């Protein structure tokens, strides 16, 4: 039924007077884009004046698709009553169908313009009625990859491609492998074909470790990020493998996702693709024609536009609907469009420049580190061009060359980067040790605090009360009229109404009535603990507190029998220095006097020496005068030295009088 409908359709268009341009494309907007290309060419006078009728037909739908249409066209063309059929074919995209229609087109002398890259393993001498506007070729990326390998100092690759999952022919990886088997551009150590629906990545990882140092991953995967991630390229790159990605479209379209860019940047991946100089501007121009255009559709629609525009340019150069050799007819023709210019070579392909990209870490953008300019040369089996490399970003290449090759342990998967684990372990151990030390110190302090070292046990406390003494008696005893008032403060003993015995030590006490149990806060406990630790000759030692065991709260400190600061404060008018105090004070002063006195005596001695010198000048000879001058200088030097040594000691002794020996001052 399908064949019959196609046959009727082609018979109808065969009788038409206009040029029938049959566009094989499944996208519904393809006809609009092709029409835009023809209109733009006509606007600049670069297209035939005949009317061009565009008919879109689906392509790449199996044997009953374009193949059936081609047989129907051949049958119609063989009818004796049809003198001429003006057919022009754009597409299809899959290798099987374009070969089929290309073979028939050679019989019909009809031009065929392909717009998707299709590798023809029979070479450029085949399908001479078919040209291709796709700015990409398997031979082009093969040469670009060869230049990259030479720069990295590598000779072989592990090639990874996708299986044939679409009816559009072999995947890029398979085409690249087939090309290299005949051209031997580089050595393929192993070819790994991946079916994303059924794959064992562990087995593939083992193969890659044992293969070539350069791993080439070709486009064609449904989910490119998952494929790269599951291939474990991050770990392979850390071992010293070079990762290369080969694309048939600019990376800004094929690999625009941020997660892909980050993965490629962290692994230092090289990306080989056609060089696109104005991707953003071209995308904006195409969106004016197809507002619904998605990013991933851009390159396909751009190629359709170029195919239709190229037909128009060819129609102005003698190929309107008939050609004996479309390759020769279009050789050297330059096509200028609003999206850019391109030139055909002798094989009917477009001369294409390529680039090697890396991902810039700061802007997360693809940056070319090597450009490969295409130039026409003598044709070989597949190519009529040659690529000339131009390096950029020397730091990238220097870093790549300095990369250490994979260790032998990589082959057995026994390598391990233990440095991060060791550093992490050391940091953790240091933190744990610090935490333990802090915990122990804090714990010890809390234990000491809560041990209540300042609490006086009830059994060790005994209070002694003088029943014959009262307050009046104590005041009289303390204020007896001694003949020497100074002796009152320094010699007499204090009379106590009561005191306490803490173990074997006597203590003064202050008692308060305790009504209920007292629980001190931690801050208070810490304060009492520190107070218990204080030790100084001029401080009455704090023994502690007895609480919660008796009816009273009792504060205890060492008993001082005479000369307390409290006595001086209570009877400051009666304070006077006795002979002992005066002698002690003078003793301390005398410690400092030698420093000053020695300097004064030295000064007087030097003065006398000078007087003696004057007398000697008048009496003795000149040599004696010199000897006397030397003696004077020697005495002066000894004096200064002694003063420097004794002055700090004398100063400290002087200050000690007021700081250490004074009562009540710490």
Q: What DSSP string describes 44-76?
A: TT-S-SS-EEEEEE---S-TTTHHHHHHHHHHH
What pTM does this model have? Answer: 0.59
Q: What is the pLDDT of residues 91-106, one digit of tens each?
A: 887 777 777 788 878 8
In this model, does residue 86 exceed pLDDT 90? no
Whether residue 168 contacts residue 60, with contact meaning beta carbons closer than 8 Å, is answered with yes
End-to-end CA distance of the chain: 118
What local confidence, expressed as pLDDT, does residue 3 receive?
A: 43
In degrees and rounded to multiples of 5, residue 529 shows phi and psi of -65, -45
**Mean pLDDT confidence for 335-340:** 91
Which comes out higher in pLDDT, residue 333 or 489?
333
Q: Which residues pair with 407 in a beta bridge?
A: none
- The position carrying tokens 């003795």 is 620
- Kindly indicate the confidence band of residue 312, based on its pLDDT and cuts at 50, 70 and 90: very high
CA proximity to 366, closest of 264, 237, 227: 264
What local confidence, expressed as pLDDT, does residue 262 receive?
A: 92
Query: 298-317 burial, b if ≥16 CB within 10 A, otherwise e?
Result: bbbbbbbbbbbbbbbbbbee
| Token pair recorded at residue 300 | 């396909």
Whether residue 575 contacts residue 568, with contact meaning beta carbons closer than 8 Å, is answered with yes
- Kindly indicate the confidence band of residue 238, based on its pLDDT and cuts at 50, 70 and 90: confident
Q: What is the pLDDT of residues 441-497, one digit of tens each?
A: 877 767 666 667 788 888 888 887 776 655 555 555 555 554 445 455 555 566 677
| Token pair recorded at residue 4 | 């019959």
Distance (Å, rounded) from C-alpha 131 to C-alpha 111? Answer: 8
What local confidence, expressed as pLDDT, does residue 572 receive?
A: 59
Whether residue 53 contacts residue 19, with contact meaning beta carbons closer than 8 Å, is answered with yes
Distance (Å, rounded) from C-alpha 525 to C-alpha 453? Answer: 10
Q: Which residues pair with 272 in a beta bridge?
A: 246, 356
Q: Which of 19-23, 148-152, 186-190, 661-665 has the lowest mean pLDDT?
A: 661-665
- Kindly indicate the confidence band of residue 13, based on its pLDDT and cuts at 50, 70 and 90: very low
- Chain length of the chain: 666
In this model, does residue 658 exceed pLDDT 90? no
CA proximity to 264, closest of 164, 332, 353, 358: 358
Distance (Å, rounded) from C-alpha 15 to C-alpha 77? Answer: 11
- Kindly indicate the confidence band of residue 190, based on its pLDDT and cuts at 50, 70 and 90: very high
CA proximity to 501, closest of 453, 556, 549: 556
Element (H, E) at 641: helix 622-659
Q: Which of 32-36, 107-111, 142-146 has the lowest mean pLDDT?
A: 107-111
Separation of CA 498 from chain center:
77
Q: Which residues pair with 113 in a beta bridge?
A: 90, 131
- The count of other CB atoms within 10 Å of the CB of residue 161 is 24
The CA-based angle 601-602-605, given to 5 degrees, is 85
Cα torsion 194, 195, 201, 204: sign: negative
- Kindly indicate the confidence band of residue 140, based on its pLDDT and cuts at 50, 70 and 90: very high
Q: Which of 64-78, 146-160, 503-517, 531-545 has the lowest mean pLDDT?
A: 64-78
Whether the upstream peptide bond of residue 92 has omega within 30° of 0, thus cis, is: yes
In 70-155, the DSSP E strands lie at 87-90, 112-114, 130-132
What local confidence, expressed as pLDDT, does residue 16 receive?
A: 46
| Token pair recorded at residue 375 | 């130039």
Torsion of CA 662, 664, 665, 666, to 10 degrees: 120
- The count of other CB atoms within 10 Å of the CB of residue 199 is 16
Tell me what the pLDDT averaged over the chain comes to. 79
Distance (Å, rounded) from C-alpha 133 to C-alpha 544? Answer: 102
Q: Which of 221-230, 450-459, 498-507 has the lowest mean pLDDT?
A: 450-459
Q: Which residues pair with 389 in a beta bridge?
A: 372
**Mean pLDDT confidence for 291-295:** 81
**Mean pLDDT confidence for 127-137:** 88
In this model, does residue 204 exceed pLDDT 50? yes
Q: What is the pLDDT of residues 595-622, one digit of tens each?
A: 666 667 667 767 777 777 677 666 655 4
Distance (Å, rounded) from C-alpha 225 to C-alpha 356? Answer: 19
């Amino acid at each position: 039924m399908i064949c019959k409908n196609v046959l009727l359709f082609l018979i109808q268009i065969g009788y038409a007077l206009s040029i029938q341009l049959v566009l094989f494309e499944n996208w519904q907007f393809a006809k609009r884009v092709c029409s835009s290309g023809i209109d733009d060419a006509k606007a600049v006078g670069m297209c035939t004046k005949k009317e061009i009728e565009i008919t879109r037909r689906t392509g790449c739908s199996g044997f009953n698709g374009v193949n059936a249409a081609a047989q129907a066209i051949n049958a119609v063309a063989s009818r004796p009553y049809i003198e001429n059929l003006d057919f022009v074919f754009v597409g299809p995209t899959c290798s099987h169908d374009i070969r089929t229609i290309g073979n028939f087109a050679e019989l019909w002398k009809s031009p065929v313009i392909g717009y998707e890259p299709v590798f023809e393993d029979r070479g450029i001498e085949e399908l001479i009625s078919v040209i291709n506007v796709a700015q990409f070729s398997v031979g082009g990326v093969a040469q670009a990859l060869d230049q990259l390998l030479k720069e990295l100092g590598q000779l072989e690759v592990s090639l990874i491609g996708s299986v044939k999952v679409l009816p559009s022919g072999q995947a890029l990886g398979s085409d690249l492998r087939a090309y290299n088997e005949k051209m031997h551009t580089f050595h393929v150590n192993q070819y790994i074909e991946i079916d994303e629906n059924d794959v064992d990545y562990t087995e593939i990882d083992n193969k890659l470790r044992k293969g070539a140092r350069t791993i080439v991953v070709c486009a064609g995967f449904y989910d490119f990020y998952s494929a790269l991630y599951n291939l474990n390229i991050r770990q392979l790159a850390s071992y010293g493998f070079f990762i290369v990605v080969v694309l048939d479209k600019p990376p800004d379209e094929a690999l625009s996702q941020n997660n892909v860019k980050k993965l490629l940047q962290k692994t230092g991946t090289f990306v080989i693709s056609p060089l696109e100089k104005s991707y953003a501007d071209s995308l904006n121009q195409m969106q004016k024609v197809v507002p619904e255009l998605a990013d991933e559709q851009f390159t396909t629609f751009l190629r359709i536009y170029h195919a239709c525009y190229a037909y128009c340019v060819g129609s102005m150069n003698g190929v309107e609907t008939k050609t004996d050799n479309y390759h020769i007819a279009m050789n050297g023709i330059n096509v200028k469009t609003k999206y850019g210019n391109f030139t055909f070579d002798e094989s009917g392909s477009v001369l294409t420049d390529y680039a090697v990209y890396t991902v810039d870490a700061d802007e997360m953008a693809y940056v070319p580190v090597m450009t490969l300019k295409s130039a026409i040369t003598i044709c070989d089996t597949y190519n009529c061009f040659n690529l000339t490399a131009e390096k950029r970003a020397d730091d990238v290449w220097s870093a790549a060359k300095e990369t250490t090759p994979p260790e032998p342990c990589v082959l057995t998967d026994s390598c391990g980067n233990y440095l991060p684990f060791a550093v992490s372990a050391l940091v953790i151990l240091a933190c744990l040790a610090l935490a333990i030390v802090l915990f122990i110190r804090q714990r010890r302090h809390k234990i000491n605090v809560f041990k209540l070292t300042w609490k006086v046990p009830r059994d060790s406390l005994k209070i002694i009360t003088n029943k014959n003494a009262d307050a009046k008696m104590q005041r009289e005893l303390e204020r007896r009229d001694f003949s020497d008032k100074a002796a009152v403060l320094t010699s007499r003993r204090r009379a106590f109404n009561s005191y306490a015995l803490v173990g074997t030590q006597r203590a003064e006490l202050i008692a308060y009535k305790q009504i209920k149990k007292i629980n001190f806060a931690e801050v208070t406990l810490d304060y009492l603990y520190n107070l218990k630790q204080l030790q100084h000759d001029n401080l009455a030692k704090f023994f502690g507190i007895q609480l919660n065991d008796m009816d009273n709260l009792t504060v205890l400190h060492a008993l001082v029998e005479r000369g307390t600061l409290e006595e001086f404060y209570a009877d400051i008018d009666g304070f006077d220095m006795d002979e002992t105090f005066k002698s002690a004070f003078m003793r301390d002063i005398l410690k400092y006097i030698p420093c000053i006195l020695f300097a004064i005596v030295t000064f007087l001695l030097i003065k006398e020496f000078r007087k003696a010198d004057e007398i000697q000048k008048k009496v003795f000879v000149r040599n004696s005068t010199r000897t006397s001058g030397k003696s004077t200088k020697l005495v002066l030097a000894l004096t200064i030295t002694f003063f420097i040594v004794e002055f700090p000691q004398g100063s400290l002794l002087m200050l000690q009088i007021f700081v250490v020996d004074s009562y009540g001052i710490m």
